[in-house]
A and B are shown apart, each in its own frame.
Chain A
Amino acid sequence: AQSVSQHNHHVILSEAASLELGCNYSYGGTVNLFWYVQYPGQHLQLLLKYFSGDPLVKGIKGFEAEFIKSKFSFNLRKPSVQWSDTAEYFCAVTSTSGTYKYIFGTGTRLKVLA
């Protein structure tokens, strides 16, 4: 079955700490991978995406993610978090062919302490 697992449901960090959020997927075939962010009371916004090429992708606001095909992983990282990064983060996967149906993880709620 197709699925996305986000291992950390809640993460609390102090400002300037480094962040890594885990994402593993189970999805047959070649995939596209995404990270979305949802700030409190808002809708989801695209943070970064991987389609092909360099497995290290950079997104907005200093976020990056690394695609490791052998581990079926797409972990999100940021070297130094800010209070404004407090949000919920969702990993998503879809096939590069066929119906282009997205599957989302259950999300990781990040709280950054000032």
Chain B
Amino acid sequence: NAGVTQTPKFQVLKTGQSMTLQCAQDMNHEYMSWYRQDPGMGLRLIHYSVGAGITDQGEVPNGYNVSRSTTEDFPLRLLSAAPSQTSVYFCASSSRNYGYTFGSGTRLTVV
């Protein structure tokens, strides 16, 4: 089992560029989420999904879009990168009666 796979692991963007962070899980989990982790701020929820075709906003959704066309995939799109989006991004998935399984993270730097 691969679990939760995130790509890329590292990325440097220029201000104003757009990109997509990929996330895929092979556990048939219905719940998937994107978090960003910043020093001293813990994990903050960006967007989440409770199933294919259903997404909702978390605490810090501005500047990010998501879609969930399949159970397996939950990509995160940065529309126009800003330095404030420099962070480590984690994707996670879960079934209803278990905790989240996290991906290994994407370290994003916006210059």
Contact = CB atoms under 8 A, between A and B. Distances in A.
A45 B58 CA distance: 21
Contacts, number: 54
Main secondary structure of the interface of A (DSSP, over half): loop
A102 B33 contact: yes
B90 interface: yes
Nearest to B58: A101
B29 to A, nearest CB: 11
Contact of A46 (B31, B42, B58, B100): B100
A49 B100 CA distance: 10
A105 B58 CA distance: 15
Given A43-B90, A45-B102, A106-B40, A100 B96 contact: yes
27 contacts: A6-B42, A36-B99, A36-B100, A43-B90, A43-B104, A44-B90, A44-B100, A44-B102, A46-B100, A49-B98, A49-B99, A51-B97, A90-B42, A92-B100, A99-B50, A100-B50, A101-B33, A101-B58, A102-B33, A102-B100, A103-B45, A104-B35, A104-B42, A104-B44, A104-B45, A106-B40, A106-B41
Interface of A: 6, 9, 34, 36, 42-46, 49, 51, 90, 92, 99-107
